[in-house]
């Protein structure tokens, strides 16, 4: 099953979005919140993101969703320094993308389909 990592500047926001996505999409999908800095402040942490990837990686790939610009930079920096061939950055809205990714992963889709589902969530609510 494809794992999902939520990278946020806020530990609480990441945890709450993970909880919401799990309630909607099912609790069997590996999902981890990587929010806040190592000392508990607002910001992002390469260590937290790396640990979260390790936690959810079951061999089928991992999709990362980020809340704000520097969360993207943290994720990119981590992947540049230590490439993970099955880890992908989603260009997706944080909440809607997380829910779409989790539901798609729970349905047994491969990592490309999970990534596509997260990114398609950009269009939710648009006419």
Active site residues: 9
Residue 65: strand, helix, or coil: strand
Q: Which residues contact 38 (CB under 8 A, 6 or more apart)?
A: 45, 47, 48
Residue linked to tokens 């919140």: 33
In whole angstroms, how far apart are CA 110 and each of 55, 98, 102?
18, 15, 12
Structural element, H or E, at residue 53: helix 46-56
Q: Give the CA radius of gyration of the chain.
A: 13
């Amino acid at each position: 099953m494809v794992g999902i990592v939520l990278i946020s500047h806020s530990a609480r926001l990441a945890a709450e979005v993970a909880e919401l996505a799990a309630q909607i999409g099912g609790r069997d999908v590996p999902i981890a919140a990587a929010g806040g800095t190592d000392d508990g402040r607002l910001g992002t942490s390469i260590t937290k993101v790396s640990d979260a990837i390790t936690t959810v990686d079951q061999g089928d790939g991992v999709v990362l969703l980020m809340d704000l610009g520097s969360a993207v930079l943290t994720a990119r920096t981590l992947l540049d320094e230590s490439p993970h061939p099955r880890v992908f950055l989603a260009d997706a809205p944080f909440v809607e993308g997380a829910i779409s990714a989790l539901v798609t992963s729970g349905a047994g889709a491969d990592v490309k389909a999970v990534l596509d589902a997260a990114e398609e969530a950009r269009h939710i609510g648009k006419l």
